[in-house]
Amino acid sequence: MHRFSGLRFRLLMLVLFAVVPAFGLTLYTGWSQRRLAAEDARADALRFTRFATTNLDRSVEGARQLLATLAGLPEVHALDSAACSALMANVLKQIHGYVNLGAAKPDGDVFCSALPLEQPVSFADRPWFQRAVQTRTFVLSEYQTGRITGQAILVGGYPVLEPSGEIRAIVSAGLDLGWLNRLAAEAQLPEGAALVVIDRQGTILARHPDPEKWVGKGLPEVPLVEAILARGEGTVEASGVDGLTRLFAFMPVQGTGKGIYVSIGVSKQAAFAGANALFARSLVVLVLGGVLTLGAAWVLSDLVVLRRVNALARAAERLTGGDLGARADVRGEDEIGMMARAFNAMAEGLAGMIMAEEHARKALAQHARDVDLLNQMGELLQACPTPEEAYTVLRGSIDQFFPDQSGAIFVIGPSRNLMEAKVEWGASAVGEKGGFAPEACWSIRRGQAHVVEDTGSGLLCQHLAMPLPSTYLCIPLLAQGDALGLLHVNSPQRRAGPGAGLPEGKRRLAVTVADQVALALANLRLRETLLSQSIRDPLTGLFNRRYMLETLERELHWAQRRRRHVGVIALDIDRFKPLNDTHGHDAGDAVLRELGGLLNANSRGGDIACRYGGEEFVLILPEAALEDTRRRAEHLREAVKGLRVSHRGQGLKPFTLSLGVAAFPEHGETGEALLKAADDALYRAKREGRDRVMVAEYAPASLVPS
């Protein structure tokens, strides 16, 4: 009995009581870490899946918009095989992600292809083509091998409709599946994670890792694929295509009509590795501290030992109560002192782990916020029809990515010799207010990011504003190998220590933002180019006949409502055929180009100058009365005499114009009537000797506005 009632026994019991709460805290911390790791793994899987789905959906939407644009082109409506194929080949060179562009008639026969056709090809038996004809909307195919390309692709189809609603043709785009595997490889998934993209048939479109082993295989019987096809969206713990069990998150790509699904699985072993290691280390520290404490209590049995043990016990109680600053103030080199130091080390470790967890949680929250902001900015940029609206979106978004930094987005002008600041945030990041030459930036010269850690000693760009920032980063905005502009980010405050200024995470974020901005600007430029090609005459740069007719009807409708005038001038080059016969068609084209430039130079902001056909041109003058229109015609007749056209170093003879003038409502109330009146007046000018202006005969039935 004395053995169990002595001081040594009581010291042992006290030590045990002090260690038990710490052991409980360690167990609770380990359990909490595993629970948080499971939640983080599920959140990571959902976040990566949403990010990948958003990128896939944006690519499908880009294909739909491209096909919608191509469907409106006159070469497609005209079913002109040669012109359409040339146009498709030119567009295919300017964009990436597609293996072919083309169009087929409603019966399935392909009449247009960016790639040469070795033999006649028909899409009539393709399910996607049949759905496009039946639904009259954008459709996306299943996994298949292209009949023209011979490659594994997805095909997007879009109907070309007549004004009557009948189908004129189906334009199509073959999407390269290689970019799906690149997206999987570049997604920076956690260790042991897997990404799988399937279609509604259970065919694997992309898989990381080992894409070459799985892509193209149909595996609807795999538990993961069964769950995706049955539920469409959610999370599941299941075996993947490689037989390994993971925690998967999956959801459909919205733009494909639930035809493509993305799933990302996170390994539970990898998810719990950090928590398990942390628990093991804590347990080892706790056991070591307990053993040392028991040894000290066994040797020492006087009041000094008891007093020190009590001090250690009180520190343990404080730590158990949540006081992470609790430490045992026990000195000495004996066993109790060692136990106290071990306890303090354990407390330091726990405090460090909790602080690291809090830091990691904040970093993860910031990363999630940046991803959400990137998605929102990308969606807004995708919806912008003009660069100016895109700059407005960027002004409202860019400073949210870099709240502690300053910077600007510079865009290279059409002349390619000047970079102008379109978006700025924070302190001034612009040096010369009028812009600067692209060669002033090292990132534009090198075609890659240029980082300066310390502007006091680094290689500086010439466009920096004064006073100099402490550190800065320049990233070129590149699209299809072409530099469109520059993203500049700097830290105005001067800080000490390595890595001060721009953290690595901010640099990676800047690269991602620059890529997204470059892609948006490239898409806007391509859209503007396609629009210009559809309404402009390629030789003169003037509007084409179709655009002029549509605009004339709109202006007449507006003039009728507001009781305003509209003037029309029809003009023709005198003796143009002899000029062509004498000097060749190249000389005639040179004359037409110079005349187009003259008409553009003498047009007001609202005037419509078009090439009507051959050497005949038409000018629409909104809100111009008959006498004003006649004076404009006389001015053009005199101005053309001052033109001097050279061809192959030889000056051509000056030429004259014959012009016919008509106006609304004096000479007609429809576009057809006005054009005929102006054309009749033009031919009267021809008959009466050329080089003159004739006014159309008055139409008494017209209603003259007050």
Q: For the chain, which residues make up each domain, given as ranges?
A: 72-176, 179-266, 396-522, 545-695
The lowest-confidence range among 80-94, 296-310, 616-630 is 296-310
Class in CATH terms, 72-176: alpha beta
The lowest-confidence range among 223-237, 368-382, 401-415, 487-501 is 487-501
- Letter for the amino acid at 410? F
- pLDDT 10s digits, 283-329: 777 677 666 766 665 665 555 676 777 777 777 778 788 777 778 77
Averaged over 581-594, what is the pLDDT?
86
Residue 99 has pLDDT above 50, yes or no: yes
- pLDDT 10s digits, 336-375: 778 877 878 887 887 777 777 776 677 666 677 777 777 8
Decide which of 617 and 242 is more confident. Answer: 617
Residue 626 has pLDDT above 90, yes or no: yes
Burial 594-611 (b: 16+ CB within 10 A, else e): bbbebbeeebeeebbbbb
Decide which of 706 and 133 is more confident. Answer: 133
Averaged over 458-473, what is the pLDDT?
86
pLDDT of the residue at 152: 67
* DSSP letter for each residue of 481-547: TEEEEEEEEEE-S---STT-SS-HHHHHHHHHHHHHHHHHHHHHHHHHHHHHHHHB-TTT-SB-HHH
- pLDDT 10s digits, 521-559: 878 777 766 665 667 888 888 888 888 888 899 999 999
Band of residue 706 on the pLDDT scale cut at 50, 70, 90: very low
72-176 shares its CATH topology with 396-522: yes
Q: Which of 456, 430, 531, 444 is nearest to 482 (CA)?
A: 444
- Cα 483 to chain centroid, rounded: 16
pTM for this prediction: 0.39
pLDDT of the residue at 363: 64
The lowest-confidence range among 12-26, 68-82, 118-132, 414-428 is 12-26
* C-alpha span between 587 and 639 (Å, rounded): 20
Residue 380 has pLDDT above 50, yes or no: yes
Residues 6 or more apart whose CB falls under 8 angstroms from that of 567 comprise 619, 620, 621, 624, 625, 626, 628, 629, 632, 661, 662, 663, 664
Decide which of 77 and 205 is more confident. Answer: 77
What number does CATH give the domain 179-266? Answer: 3.30.450.20
Domain covering 545-695: architecture: 2-Layer Sandwich (3.30)
Band of residue 183 on the pLDDT scale cut at 50, 70, 90: low
Residue 485 dihedral angles phi and psi, to the nearest 5°: 175, -150
- pLDDT 10s digits, 421-441: 888 887 766 655 567 888 889
Band of residue 572 on the pLDDT scale cut at 50, 70, 90: very high
* C-alpha span between 67 and 56 (Å, rounded): 17
What number does CATH give the domain 396-522? Answer: 3.30.450.40
* C-alpha span between 267 and 81 (Å, rounded): 53
Band of residue 23 on the pLDDT scale cut at 50, 70, 90: low
* C-alpha span between 242 and 263 (Å, rounded): 14
CB 98 within 8 A of CB 178: no
Averaged over 32-37, what is the pLDDT?
73
Torsion angle defined by CA atoms of residues 336, 341, 345 and 346, in that order, rounded to the nearest 10 degrees: 10
DSSP code for 565: -
